[in-house]
Amino acid sequence: MLDTGNLVLAGHDSTYLWQNFNHPIDTILPTQMLNQGSKLAARFSEVNYPSGRSMIILQTDQNLALYTTDFSMDSANPYFESKFLKAKA
């Protein structure tokens, strides 16, 4: 466990083989980055860990979207979307 809260499994040469920061579930820490395609789902309650009523996704188009209640990505529209647009070079 690093000071940042990142739990890592390191090889003999100290390279990270696995780290929990690459697999967020329901919490993000101050030094943690959210990669494209990553999802954070709220817990249903303090003792009930299945997905609750909201989910944040950093989509592959770089928009940060909040989905509520229905997580069916086939037909669901985000409740909020950052609408991040790349600056033209």
Q: What is the pLDDT along the chain (89 residues), one digit of tens a residue?
A: 999 888 999 999 999 999 888 877 777 778 888 888 888 888 777 777 666 678 888 888 888 888 886 655 555 667 778 876 554 44
pLDDT of residue 73: 56
DSSP reduced 3-state for 43: strand
Looking up tokens 């000071």 gives 3
Burial of 31 (0-12, 13-18, 19+ CB in 10 A): exposed
Domain spans, the chain: 25-81
Letter for the amino acid at 61? D
pLDDT of residue 11: 94
DSSP-assigned letter for residue 19: E
Vertex 31, ends 54 and 20: CA angle to 5°? 70
